[in-house]
Amino acid sequence: MTPGVSDEVAESVADKLSDPVEVARSRVLPIRYLSAFNAARSPRWAVALEMALQLALSNVPRLDGRTLILIDTSGSMSAKFGKDGSLRYWEAATVFGLALAARSADADVVSFSSFSRVFAVEPGEWVLPAVRRFGRAGYFYGQGTETERAVREHYKRHDRVVILTDEQAHWHGSRHVASSIPATIPVYTWNLAGYAGGHVPAARNRHTFGGLSDAAFAMIPMIEAGEAQAWPF
């Protein structure tokens, strides 16, 4: 029970949160449901917020084959964004990364900073509690951004690679962070911070998109279906 909120009020809020029309109309950024989940002390909100998050992530595609998902947890990703400062970049990256993993036939999720580790995804686990587990279990390995090494060490013949990051990689000695990935394998960079310099050159099978909304995720199946070879500008 949350003090001061009656069951009737809570029920009507929960109804709105699980109504696809209301969620679409509200245009609330998906990660805002994580702030609400983090702020809510009563567990009774968890179901409604997870439903709202899943509805808000309508553009996150279902992916076949094997997907390698790398989440940047370096120092810069711990920076807060937004004036209220309730969210950090790694939280946005993890919401998207774990939502994508949940909708992938077979996904390996890796957290990388100075070092990297596999984050074991539990089948059927909801995204919001999984993000909390990710944070509490401390999937942070120093301040560095060893993107190139994480990609190289964890790539095992996956069908695609998705890197959620601000792209500000540390010096690595390769031409770019995805040099170890065959040119035939698509590498998608999801940029959360919008800095000027990218970590891979624009090329075929090397795509960059991003943002705090999930809108651009729809590009992945489009690109792979061959409907789009370039930005639809």
Partner 1 sequence: MAMGDTMGKFNFKSRENRHELEFEGAPGYVPEYRPPRYWPPLYGPEEVRTFEGAPGFVREPKLELFLLAVSNMVGEDTFYEAASDRDARGQRRGR
Binding mask 161-190 for partner 1 (x = CB under 8 A): -----xxxxxxx--xxx-------------
Cα–Cα dist 85/197, whole Å: 25
Question: Which residue of 196, 225, 226, 229 would you call a contact of partner 1, by CB under 8 A?
Answer: 196
Nearest to 73 by CA among 35, 104, 29, 117: 117
Among 14, 40, 216, 218, binds partner 1 (CB under 8 A): 216
| Residue number with CB closer to partner 1 (126 or 188) | 188
Measure Cα distances from 104 to 59, 120, 178, 221 in Å. 13, 14, 21, 12
Task: Tell me which amino acid residue 195 is.
Answer: Y
Burial 35-53 (b: 16+ CB within 10 A, else e): bbbbeeeeeebeebbbbbb
Rounded Cα distance between 40 and 5, Å, is 12
The rounded distance, in Å, linking the Cα atoms of 30 and 37 is: 11
Q: Which stretch binds partner 1 (CB under 8 A): 44-52, 81-89, 118-126, 133-141?
A: 81-89
Stretch that binds partner 1, among 59-67, 99-107, 134-142, 198-206 (CB under 8 A): 198-206
**Number of Cβ atoms within 10 Å of the Cβ of 180:** 14
CB atoms within 10 A of CB 6: 10
Q: How far is the CB of 79 from partner 1 (least distance, A)?
A: 4
Distance, CA of 148 to CA of 61 (rounded, Å): 26
Is the CB of 14 or the CB of 216 nearer to partner 1? 216
For residue 231, state whether it binds partner 1 (rule: CB under 8 A). yes
How many CA atoms are closer than 13 Å to the CA of 32, on its beta-carbon side? 13
Tell me the residue type at 192: L
Judged by CB under 8 A, the number of residues near partner 1 is 44
Which x/- pattern over 20-59 shows residues binding partner 1 (rule: CB under 8 A)? Answer: ----------------------------------------
> Per CB under 8 A, does 195 bind partner 1?
yes
Cβ–Cβ < 8 Å for 145, 76:
yes
233 counts as binding partner 1 under rule CB under 8 A: yes
Q: Which is nearer to partner 1, 166 or 224 (CB)?
A: 166
Pick from 53, 134, 210, 224: which binds partner 1 (CB under 8 A)?
210
Name the minimum Å distance from CB 212 to partner 1: 6
Residues at the contact surface with partner 1, assessed by CB under 8 A: 75-76, 79, 81-83, 89, 144-145, 147-148, 166-172, 175-177, 191-203, 208-213, 215-216, 231, 233
